[in-house]
Amino acid sequence: MPEQKPFLITTPIYYVNGRPHIGHAYTTVAADCIARYQKLLGRQVFFSTGTDEHGIKIQKKAEEEGKEPQAFVDEMAQAFRDLWDKLEIDYTRFIRTTESAHIAAVERVLQDLYDRGIIYQGTYEGLYCTGCEQFKTEDDLVDGKCPDHDRAPEPMKEESYLMKMTVIQQELQARIERDELCVTPEKYKAEILSFLGSETLEDVSISRKNVKWGIPLPFDPSHTTYVWIDAFLNYLTVLGWDGNRENVPEEWPADVHLIGKDILRVHATIWPALLMHLGLPTQKKLLVNGFILSGGRKMSKTLGNAISVEEVLERFGTDGTRYLLMSAGNFGDDVDLTMERMTETYNAHLANGIGNLVSRVVKLSEKLAAPFLPQKLEGFDPEFAELLDGQKLSDALQHIWARIAAANKYIDDEKPWELAKTDQGRFESVIQKLLTDIAVIAYALQPFLPATSEKIEKALREGKTEPLFQRI
């Protein structure tokens, strides 16, 4: 049987025109949970994240702040690294698109595609949204405006280099239909297939002439690389790829690309088209998440409903924040967060749920005739494993929560504090069962709440515990 390739999971590389926000945290924690689970299964895992650092928006933002673009992106990239440290994101490599090795690989790819006639000089005309750094069709707009940025795109016509797209449309559509390129949840597969079935993919602009902050085209330095082409190649260069299509990294193709729904179309068209032109396998799965809302509306400083990830971390701690993000709703749906609702969930599930359970049972275990010796657990129960295999993170946490609730109910029903006085044998049996249940819960929590899982395992070994989560 051939050796299994390493499991490759990626977040998008985040655009550094602003500081990291709660949406970035949501996607990255999700990737971390999936990566940790795969490691527990014994897989070799490569988990990549990083920052997208070129383009007109960054050039303008640096100018506004009176900084050189490189100094500006250095500062922003560090802000992302710092946040991932606080959230205990255990990534393999953090890539930046300003790295010299990445730039060299991008230049090599561009030259290769140009030499083979896949990239050619032409003129591009369309409606350009500077917020998305994408050209839009009329169908993309709502009342003539970009729905994500609430402003009308600008008509633009300029000399450009284009990459052929129409020639790969039929094959791309077939790959998505047969799940060779799996787009999930299903509604996003339907959305992209509807688009491909009703629109002809136009050859896409891959360069800009009036943007200095980017990678110059090796065959025409008066143009810089369009930011999407540069950014997509990170998924390969993060693996040490040098841009030579003969040298496919052992980790490729990616098992899971996590993306937000706002970048689905480019990840399901331009990116696989680029891979197909290079003769490389397309990514296996696009796992698409929705938007983070607050009170039913997109978070906005103007509306006053924005919640900063730093504020959530300060209030609920690292594992509390990880739990609240991952339990907020099914992956793919828009997730609605408010501080009030998060506080209620934190108290119910963490302080009064797992925290109370561990505290009560470990305290009662002091009355056991012999210390509890937890067995080393191997593997997860099938239902839980199936949920995590399908990246259904919120459902997996609900599965754990049901176990916690059942254990707390078992305590209330059995009243072991009374059994300790009247029936030592039954008391011993009840407490041993509860301690075993807690060991299983701690094992299942490892991908989600690594520090809490470790604290619970230590409490079971030593027979004493500190409060896991203080009630707010």
Give the residue numbers marked as catalytic: 21, 24, 129, 132, 146, 149, 298, 301
Type and span of the H or E element at 406: helix 393-414
Q: Which residues contact 184 (CB under 8 A, 6 or more apart)?
A: 285, 286, 287, 288, 332, 391
Q: Is the Cβ–Cβ distance between 164 and 181 less than 8 Å?
A: no
Distance CA 93, CA 251 (A): 13
Give the separation between CA 157 and CA 205, rounded to whole angstroms. Answer: 11
Distance CA 73, CA 384 (A): 41
Report how far residue 435's alpha carbon sits from residue 148's, in angstroms, rounded to the nearest whole number: 49
Other C-beta atoms lying within 10 Å of the C-beta of residue 406:
10
Please confirm whether the linkage preceding 374 is cis (ω < 30° from 0): no
The candidate with the shortest Cα–Cα distance to 72, out of 15, 28, 114, 24, is 15
DSSP string, 412-441: HHH-HHHHHHH-HHHHHHHHHHHHHHHHHH
Contact 313, 321 (CB under 8 A): yes
DSSP codes, 142-190:
BTTBBTTTTBPPEEEEEEEEEE--GGGHHHHHHHHHTTSSEEESHHHHH
| Cα–Cα distance for residue pair 314/22, rounded to 1 Å | 13
Burial of 136 (0-12, 13-18, 19+ CB in 10 A): middle
| 411 phi/psi in degrees, rounded to 5 | -60, -50
Neighbours of 139 (CB within 10 A): 8
